Structure 1
Amino acid sequence: MRFLLLSFLVCAYPVRAEFSREYLDQQPLEVSTANGMSIAYRSLGVPGQPTIIMIMGLGASHVVWGDAIAQGLQSNGFRVILLDNRDTGASTRFDDWGQPTLWWQVLKFQVGLPVDAPYTLRDMAADTIALMDILELQDAHIVGASMGGMIAQIIAARYPERTRSLVSIMSTTGAPHLPPPSTEASKLLLGTATDSDEAAERRAAMVLRGFYPEVMGRQMMAVFESGDRSKEVATISRPTLVIHGGQDTLIPPPHGEYTAEMIKGSELVVFNGMGHDLPEEILPEMLTKMTQHMQGVDRARIPPLSVK
């Protein structure tokens, strides 16, 4: 059951016709050496503005966020840094490590043995902090989706002084008691994993959107290695917004509810009509919630004017 949940991160987000990455593709792509890795990123907005770090999910490059979210946050007065996790996009790749033998790694995972992973989610969190050092960012709002939400949670727990606030989107603590994907979602996974024409078309569409299917097995091992992070998540003290889709069949809503339950004082927002994706019709309200959350934190940091 737990394996099915973690495996479902490979399906990522459905490719939607209204998705656009044209604006992001026009922005300069920069690459810096951070934590021993080449980390690719794009920077929108003006240095000195409150900064948001955007971390995407399994096998996804930063362009999967899409123009609407990136431009929406930028237009609200934020500097937005969108990065490629290690092994994704233009960041350092681990192709020489090869592909994990999934059935064997799953068997080891199920019996409690360590899995073989070329890196961990903790390494990916450290990459982000190292990039912040290079960009001379004392702190930032950390936003992550799916696996990116797991990385963001680790940053907030392990580097609270670098985390201005946390936004965890359609993610999980990895707790084993939480529900697995639905039967329909399982069928989708099996269909994606086959060599059928339909599966090939889906993979091609994912690549066009900015996914790298060939790295998903390695990044899945990083998720497996992290296991249940509930105790660590419970230590998060930074202002937190948890966003989840009411119709998410890949990581069902109880995962978001439990994440919010673990983080004292966090706010949970569940959007009806949202699955494990970022639907166009939900984005305006989602951007409003995110902006209100982060601007509220920023205002609280500004010393009040003295009364003469």
Structure 2
Amino acid sequence: MNRVTANGIEIVYDSFGSPSGRPLLLIMGLGSQMIHWDEEFCELLAEHGHHVVRFDNRDVGLSTHLHEAGVPDLGAASGGAQAVPYLLGDMADDAAGLLDTLGLPSAHVLGVSMGGMIAQTFAIRHPARTRSLTSIMSTPGPQIGAPTEQAMAALLSRSTPDREAVVRRALEVWKVLGSPGFPMDEERITRLAGQSFDRSYDPAGFGRQFAAILASGDRTAALRELSVPALVIHGEADPLVRLPGGVATADAIPGAKLITFPGMAHDLPRPLWPEIAAAVTDLTERADRP
């Protein structure tokens, strides 16, 4: 792992593949650390000619946590009644700052869930630095493809700050959010939950990220102004960001390609990795073609 200062914070990242490959920046979702980008998946993307960079967003993992900011009231943040410590635009600027430190004038940007929202925002704020945009299991706004009550309850459930309890909670959450069309990988969920706890356990950081989502509003109008090659991938069984969120994203971005997978929910099932990697590669190759 590497640590750099970018956009006024410290960001921890690592990379896969040759630095001469097509630069591909991976942005993870709400409360999830960069290790949730499986090394095997990153290596698969690298084998397809990408220089893959994954990193911890602010307030998660080993990057800077804004402890002094406290935890915003999520209801007030959603209604615009309370200022929040930062917005998705600040997180997109973190990604741009990371590219600066890596000496990359531009990159292909891929995000999942909240990471997809950040990737969309990056393309809006930094169009000249966006070679292509891939948005997975995401939405242009928090009210589009809104979660089921069960999914929201699972997302907001909390456990005691005990490693075993956190691992048990992760298994319960992914029973709700995981893909019903594919076997649940309990070993992977258990391992990642334990590793994430060992690296950094910060529920308040999760709250600040969630407040950023709620306070950042709808990006539909801004996405309609993009002129960047784009791919949207969504699970047809997603209960957290339901399918209309992916459809709305693809409809908003001119020329975007939409791929949906039956049986996929709010995760990236291992059996789909080759197909997802192939679709991303097709996009990045076309985008870089003269």
Fold equivalence (TM over 0.5)? yes
Query: Could you tell me how far apart the structure 1 residues matched to 2:256 and 2:70 are?
Result: 40
Report if the CA contact (8 A) 2:60-2:202 is conserved. Answer: no
C-alpha RMSD of matched pairs (Å)? 2.2
Q: Percent identity?
A: 40
The aligned length equals: 265
Task: Give the alignment partner of residue 259 of structure 2, picking from 269, 277, 285.
Answer: 269
> Which residue pairs with 2:154 in the alignment?
188
After superposition, the Cα gap between the structure-2 partners of 1:198 and 1:85, relative to the gap in structure 1 and judged at 3 Å, is closer
Instruction: Verify: 1:85 aligned to 2:66, yes or no.
Output: no
One-letter identity of the residue aligned with 2:101: I
> Which residue pairs with 2:100 in the alignment?
133
Report if the CA contact (8 A) 1:114-1:225 is conserved. Answer: no
Query: Could you tell me how far apart the structure 2 residues matched to 1:245 and 1:42 are?
Result: 28
- Show structure 2 runs of 5+ residues with no match: 172-189
Report if the CA contact (8 A) 1:61-1:210 is conserved. Answer: yes
Report if the CA contact (8 A) 1:203-1:213 is conserved. Answer: no
CA offsets, 1:175-221, max 9 Å, x none?
63x3422243245346x2366x9777215946325375512101111
Classify the secondary structure of the residue corresponding to 1:46: coil
Bigger mean CA deviation after superposition, 162-171 or 230-239: 230-239
In the TM superposition, what are the counterparts of 1:147-186 in structure 2 within 5 Å? 147-174=114-141, 176=143, 178-186=144-152
Classify the secondary structure of the residue corresponding to 1:150: helix
Bigger mean CA deviation after superposition, 282-291 or 266-275: 282-291
Query: Could you tell me how far apart the structure 1 residues matched to 2:98 and 2:155 are?
Result: 34
Instruction: Verify: 1:70 aligned to 2:42, yes or no.
Output: yes
Report if the CA contact (8 A) 1:164-1:238 is conserved. Answer: yes
Under a length normalisation based on structure 1, what TM-score does the superposition of the two structures give?
A: 0.80
Structure showing greater radius of gyration is 1
After superposition, the Cα gap between the structure-2 partners of 1:189 and 1:163, relative to the gap in structure 1 and judged at 3 Å, is closer
After superposition, the Cα gap between the structure-2 partners of 1:258 and 1:209, relative to the gap in structure 1 and judged at 3 Å, is farther
One-letter identity of the residue aligned with 2:119: A
> Which residue pairs with 2:183 in the alignment?
none
One-letter identity of the residue aligned with 1:182: T
Report if the CA contact (8 A) 1:207-1:213 is conserved. Answer: no
Query: Could you tell me how far apart the structure 2 residues matched to 1:187 and 1:50 are?
Result: 39
After superposition, the Cα gap between the structure-2 partners of 1:223 and 1:175, relative to the gap in structure 1 and judged at 3 Å, is closer
Query: Could you tell me how far apart the structure 2 residues matched to 1:243 and 1:81 are?
Result: 20
Task: Give the alignment partner of residue 233 of structure 2, picking from 208, 224, 243.
Answer: 243
Instruction: Verify: 1:210 aligned to 2:161, yes or no.
Output: no
Classify the secondary structure of the residue corresponding to 1:210: helix
Instruction: Verify: 1:259 aligned to 2:249, yes or no.
Output: yes
Instruction: Verify: 1:233 aligned to 2:231, yes or no.
Output: no
One-letter identity of the residue aligned with 2:158: A
CA offsets, 1:83-119, max 9 Å, x none?
111111111111232223x3xx40x245x33433211
Under a length normalisation based on structure 2, what TM-score does the superposition of the two structures give?
A: 0.84
After superposition, the Cα gap between the structure-2 partners of 1:41 and 1:185, relative to the gap in structure 1 and judged at 3 Å, is same
Bigger mean CA deviation after superposition, 228-237 or 48-57: 228-237
CA offsets, 1:215-262, max 9 Å, x none?
210111111110112112222210000000011011100100000000
Query: Could you tell me how far apart the structure 1 residues matched to 2:153 and 2:89 are?
Result: 31
After superposition, the Cα gap between the structure-2 partners of 1:99 and 1:200, relative to the gap in structure 1 and judged at 3 Å, is farther
Report if the CA contact (8 A) 2:77-2:84 is conserved. Answer: no
CA offsets, 1:35-90, max 9 Å, x none?
11111100222222211001001111111011232011011111111111111111
